[in-house]
Homo-oligomer: A and B are copies of this chain.
Amino acid sequence: MKVEELAAKFTPTEVLKTDTQTKSVVILGTVDGENAICSLEKTAFSISEVGDALLSKLVDGIQLINDNDVYLWSMAALVQDLEKSPGAKVNFIHPASETHIRKYRSQAHHWVAETPEVYRKIVRPFIDTQKGDRIQWVYNILFKGKESETFIHHDTDPQDGYVLLPDMKWDRSTLEALYLVTIVNRTDISSVRDIDGSHVDFLMRVRDNIKQVVSEKYLVAEDQLRLFVHYQPSYYHFHIHVVNINHPGLGAGINAGKAILLDDVIDNVRMVYDYYQRRTMYYQLGGNHKLWEKLEELKELCC
């Protein structure tokens, strides 16, 4: 079906998500009786040099709202052109499955206090169900050369080695938005909960090595890299996120309550050997997350 026809036939049934920060919206609808998802996101200003910043090239009509002293607020209509400066990206998924819909529907997040006991009773057993086939794709990368054409660095040592490769979220060219991921070869660390003082040397070697490799390859200074892990991570094989500290927007992925600095991990287990076994871990968790369901069941059992 042509995109013009798809857009004309699209009948909205539910607004799945609106984001006032990124100026985007995701709409569920139907096309010929089948579910379809349409997401719209406004385009960024395309200004690469000062000549592009002439207001007559950007604005087509302007109207005062208010002013005070040296400050003045107004609203404007924008210059746009479907070929050269379109106003929005518009993506469709058609037909859309229930999984697609669940993925895009807004979910309330909850604040979790995971004590060592909750970890042992609920989270660890949950993690065990997320291994095997579910992380086969990780083993394919590490041990079967999958995606090897994208590897930035590959150290095959089974204990200390790792693969460094671009994250899916990176366009592989905008240096300011640099986003890489390091997947370690060793298979015995599911998450930061498994890290203790015995890993200090390993983590420091990996950290220093990543910083050196990345700063040499991408001309980003070592002190402009931010290295962190997630808890909960999206897959339970130890990996480290590597981003430019000036990255303009990482969303929830860099939030305190989701991201933990690798530097903090190392220093914490240097100070207290079993820090991550003893600590209550605090984090945000989406209401759609399978682990949230398990934690809710526990609450009902105990309170």
Binding site for B on A (CB under 8 A): 2-4, 6-8, 10, 12-15, 18-25, 27, 29, 38, 40, 42-45, 47, 49-51, 53-56, 58-59, 61-64, 70-78, 80-83, 86-96, 108-113, 177, 222-226, 228, 245-246, 248-251, 254-261, 263-264, 267, 271-272, 275, 278-280, 282, 284
Contact = CB atoms under 8 A, between A and B. Distances in A.
Nearest to A56: B8
Contacts of A93: 70-72
A158 to B, nearest CB: 30
A199 to B, nearest CB: 18
Given A111-B223, A254-B255, A275-B271, A3 B62 contact: yes
B246 A108 contact: yes
Query: Which residue among A108, A272, A275 has the maximum number of chain B CB atoms within 10 Å of its CB?
Result: A108
14 contacts: A3-B72, A6-B72, A20-B177, A27-B53, A42-B45, A63-B83, A73-B89, A74-B89, A74-B91, A76-B86, A228-B257, A254-B255, A254-B257, A257-B261
A82 B76 contact: yes
B42 A12 contact: no
Contacts of A272: 271-272
A7 B224 contact: no
A200 to B, nearest CB: 14
A224 B292 CA distance: 14
Given A15-B53, A248-B20, A248-B21, A224 B110 contact: yes
A226 B71 contact: no
A264 B282 contact: yes
Nearest to A111: B223
A255 B248 CA distance: 12
Contacts of A20: 44, 177, 248-249
B91 A223 contact: no
Contact of A86 (B2, B71, B77): B77
Contact of A63 (B3, B21, B23): B3
Given A15-B47, A38-B55, A45-B23, A75 B70 contact: no
Given A3-B63, A256-B261, A75 B82 contact: yes
A72 B91 CA distance: 6
A126 B7 CA distance: 59
A20 B95 CA distance: 30
A55 B75 CA distance: 23
A87 B250 CA distance: 25
Contacts of A251: 249
